[in-house]
A and B are shown apart, each in its own frame.
Chain A
Amino acid sequence: MSQLRKDPIVGRWTIIATERARRPAAFVDHQSTITDQKHCPYCQDIPSPGVYESHGVKVVNSRSPILNDNKPFERRGHGLYDVCHSYGSHEIVLEAPLHIANMADLPPEQIKAVMQTYALRMQTHRKNPFIEYILAYKNYGVAAGSRNIGHSRSQIMAVPVLPMRVKDKTRGAEKYFNYHERCLFCDMVSQELKNKERVVVENEHFVVITPFASRFPFETWILPKNHHCDFADGIAGHEDSLAAIMKDILLRFKIGLNDPAYNYMIQTSPVKNPSLFKDYYHWHIEVMPRLTRVAGFERGTGFYICPIPPEMSAAFLREVDIHART
Chain B
Amino acid sequence: MPELRRDPVVGRWVIIDSDHLKGPLDFFKDDNTPTAQAICPFCPGREYQTPQEVDAVRPRNSVVDTPGWLVRTVPNKFPVLSSEGPLLKDGIGVYDQMTGIGAHEVLIEGPDHDKSLTELAMEEMQAVISQYHGRFRKLSNDNRFKYVVIFKNFGFSAGATVEHTHSQIIALPMVPKTVLEELKGAEHYHQYRGRCVFCDMISQEYQDKERIVVENSGFLAFCPYAPRYAFETWIIPKGHSADFSNTDEASQAHLAQILQDVLKRVKKVLGNPSYNYYLHTAPIGYAHLACYHWHIEIIPKLTRSVGFEWGTGLHIVPTFPQDSARYLREA
Contacts and interface: CB of A to CB of B under 8 A. Distances in A.
B311 A137 contact: yes
Given A213-B14, A304-B15, A135 B308 contact: yes
A45 interface: no
B224 A300 contact: no
Contacts of B185: 8-11
Given A16-B317, A22-B318, A28-B270, A306 B17 contact: yes
A15 interface: yes
Contacts of B14: 213-215, 303-306
Interface string A1-14: 00101111111111
B130 interface: no
Contacts of A10: 178, 181-182, 184-185
Interface in A1-48: 3, 5-18, 21-22, 24-25, 27-29
Contacts of A165: 10, 311-314
B307 A303 contact: no
Contacts of B24: 217, 308, 312-313, 316
Contact of A301 (B23, B176, B228, B320): B176
A213 B314 contact: no
B12 A15 contact: no
Instruction: Bin the interface of chain A by size.
Output: 35 or more
A325 B312 CA distance: 36
A265 B12 CA distance: 18
A14 B299 CA distance: 15
A274 interface: no
B170 interface: yes
B201 A8 contact: yes
Interface string A243-285: 0000000000000011000011111000000000000000000
Contacts of A304: 12, 14-15
B9 A66 contact: no
B133 interface: no
A130 interface: no
Contacts of B304: 29, 142-145
B93 A12 contact: no
B157 A305 contact: no
A28 B271 contact: yes
Interface stretch (A51-59, A91-99, A167-175, A234-242): A167-175
A100 to B, nearest CB: 19
A312 B94 CA distance: 20
A53 B182 CA distance: 44
A187 B93 contact: yes
A29 B17 CA distance: 30
Contacts of A213: 5-8, 12-14, 16, 95
A267 to B, nearest CB: 7
A146 B158 CA distance: 19
Max count, chain A CB within 10 A of own CB: residue among B15, B160, B179, B185: B15
B294 interface: no
Contacts of A188: 8, 94
B140 interface: no
A74 B165 CA distance: 47
A80 interface: yes
B17 A307 contact: yes
B276 A299 contact: yes
B176 A296 contact: no
Interface string A149-190: 000000101010101111011001100100000001101100
A120 interface: no
Interface string B269-290: 1110100111010000000000
B302 interface: yes
A102 interface: no
Contacts of B315: 12, 14-15
Contacts of A143: 304
Contact of B320 (A12, A16, A27): A16
A15 B277 CA distance: 22
20 contacts: A24-B270, A25-B271, A27-B318, A28-B302, A79-B208, A145-B307, A159-B312, A191-B94, A215-B12, A263-B307, A264-B307, A293-B156, A293-B157, A293-B159, A296-B152, A300-B297, A304-B12, A305-B15, A308-B18, A316-B24
Interface of A: 3, 5-18, 21-22, 24-25, 27-29, 66, 78-81, 133, 135, 137-139, 142-146, 155, 157, 159, 161, 163-166, 168-169, 172-173, 176, 184-185, 187-188, 191, 195, 211-215, 217, 257-258, 263-267, 286, 288, 291, 293-297, 299-310, 312-313, 316
Nearest first, the 3 closest Cβ-Cβ pairs linking A and B are A295-B159, A265-B311, A296-B276
